[in-house]
Chain A
Amino acid sequence: MIRIIVSPEPIDLTAEIERAEAAGVGAVATFTGIVRADDGVGELELEHYPGVTERALTGLTQEALRRWSLAGATVVHRVGPMRPGERIVFVAATAAHRAAALEACAFLIDRLKTEAPFWKRERRGDEAHWVEQRETDVGAAARWD
């Protein structure tokens, strides 16, 4: 089962984990991304490409299902304004055993960072600037090529 959510609503971690556990298999691996307060960031704003973002995330999860024996995959990404400490992204992979779940979860978050059309803008006081793509993120995604 694939679950893709792109929404301005806060991410309900308990509900998402319970939904993943309801697959009734042996392993649930999850990743939660939290907005960092780097150098005084007061607010983070997420822009996305409506429709195309969801399609990209669906394609990523379908690739995960082809590469690993999974019962399901979930990607929940928040968009719009959010504050440090809030959840920005949640990924879950469910499988019979831990190796597939852990690897698929890492694959999903690594690839999401370079393949899904989201853009971050940080606000510090009255100043705002667009976050640059990090070479380390490009390298992390490339290890799954």
Chain B
Amino acid sequence: MRLVYFAWVRERIGTGEEQVAPPADVATVAQLIDWLAANSAGHAAAFAERDRLRAAVDGVFVGLDASVVGVDEVAIFPPVTGG
């Protein structure tokens, strides 16, 4: 699965995009975030404040409890600030 990051999430992780192959028990965005944070200090720092994270799965905004099973792209980012 491809992961994409934006704004300060991207900066703290140090990349805007990466390919990952999470284990089968990673079923939701929240579990994906936990798995990434457990394996990298950079990810752990970026994901430290869960209530400031938002996500999109295959281009659709979702809650962190949304499924990531079989999806192509997960985006993780701060609350949006356009306009």
Interface residues of A (CB under 8 A from B): 33, 46-49, 51-52, 55-56, 77, 88-89, 109, 112-121, 130-133, 137
Which one of B6, B59, B77, B81 lies within 8 Å of A131 (CB-CB)? Answer: B81
State whether B79 touches A133 (Cβ < 8 A). Answer: yes
In the complex, how many residues of chain B place their beta carbon closer than 8 angstroms to a beta carbon of chain A? 15
The reply to whether B80 and A117 contact each other, CB–CB distance below 8 Å, is: yes
- Cross-chain contact of A119 among B4, B7, B61 (Cβ < 8 A): B7
Residues of A within 8 A of B7 (CB): 47, 119, 121, 130
Nearest Cβ on chain A to B63's Cβ, whole angstroms: 14
Chain B hits for A132, CB < 8 A: 79, 81
Q: A33-B83, A109-B83 are in contact. Are A119 and B6 (CB under 8 A)?
A: yes
Is the CB–CB distance between B83 and A115 below 8 Å?
A: no
Contact residues, B3-62 vs A (CB, 8 A): 4, 6-8, 56, 59, 61
Known contacts A56-B61, A115-B61, A117-B6: does B82 contact A48 (CB below 8 Å)?
A: yes
A–B pairs, 7, beta carbons within 8 Å:
A33-B83, A55-B59, A115-B61, A117-B6, A132-B81, A133-B78, A133-B80
With A119-B77, A119-B78, A130-B8 in contact, is A51–B59 under 8 Å at CB? Answer: yes
Residue of B4, B75, B82 touching A118 (CB-CB under 8 A): B82
In the complex, what residue of chain A is closest to B8 when comparing beta carbons? A130
Residue of B nearest to A108 (CB): B83
